[in-house]
Amino acid sequence: MLITELPSLDRKLIKDLKIALKDFEPMVKNPQFLWNGRKIKNFGLLPREAWANWLICAVLRKMHNRDITFMEDDSGDGFVIDKDLRLAFQTEHVSALDVPRGRKLPSGEQRVIDAINLKIARGADYAHEKLLVTFFDGAGQFFRNKIRESIFGRHNFEAVFCVGLLNSGPEGYSYTVTEFRDSFGEQSVTHKVEINSDFTDWEITQIMR
């Protein structure tokens, strides 16, 4: 949606992704924070929602060279804000994580497809002008084109993002961020976000198109 002002002045907006990255360090390094479902103190999103929004905004900034960030939301899972184009998109998130412990999810692309289908089933009105974000781990090998083929023409979201953990360890963390759009001629794009060990910087590369 086009905005003439931010969706609400009483909602907190992330002004600096680099400062926010450092704030995320303890949450990401102890994944219980990403799994336990409790909202961040003084920020109205779940840790996994805020972290996925950070990763998406970092990639969108790289792709479009614009001032793109995110803010909290009292009815959804945050807004992605394009400050240059004065656009705001509400996000809706769905988890495909191996939590709670003992949860049995399929491997491969079916893990992601099943999570997306849960949100598609909510209908067109639910999806209108929103971004869908699937945050996943444990999928193993999966094929991006099979996800795109499964959801193409079946959802009404502005775009569908899939955010997945690649690697974690003492040298840092890496994630994939894939964007699927429902427009003919627009290919899905996957980027890798590599975050250094002390969460002070990151690098983004396009890894497939």
pLDDT tens-place string over residues 97-125: 877 666 677 777 898 999 999 999 999 99
- Decide which of 181 and 3 is more confident: 181
Give domain status of residue 6, yes or no: no
What mean pLDDT do residues 127-132 have? 93
Give domain status of residue 151, yes or no: yes
Supply the pTM of this predicted model: 0.90
Give domain status of residue 30, yes or no: yes
Q: How far out from the chain centre does Cα 146 lie? A: 19
Give domain status of residue 138, yes or no: yes
Give domain status of residue 69, yes or no: yes
- The number of folded domains in the chain is 1
d(CA 60, CA 83): 12
Give domain status of residue 2, yes or no: no
Q: Domain of 173: which CATH number?
A: 3.40.1540
State the pLDDT at residue 179.
93
Maximum mean pLDDT: which of 97-106, 111-120, 134-143, 186-195: 111-120
CA nearest to 53, candidates 78, 73, 36, 83: 78
d(CA 55, CA 39): 18
The pLDDT > 70 percentage for the chain reads 89
Maximum mean pLDDT: which of 32-36, 105-109, 146-150: 146-150
Give domain status of residue 9, yes or no: no
**Is residue 37's pLDDT more than 90?**
no
Give domain status of residue 10, yes or no: no
Domain carrying residue 134: 17-208
d(CA 141, CA 89): 30
What mean pLDDT do residues 39-61 have? 91
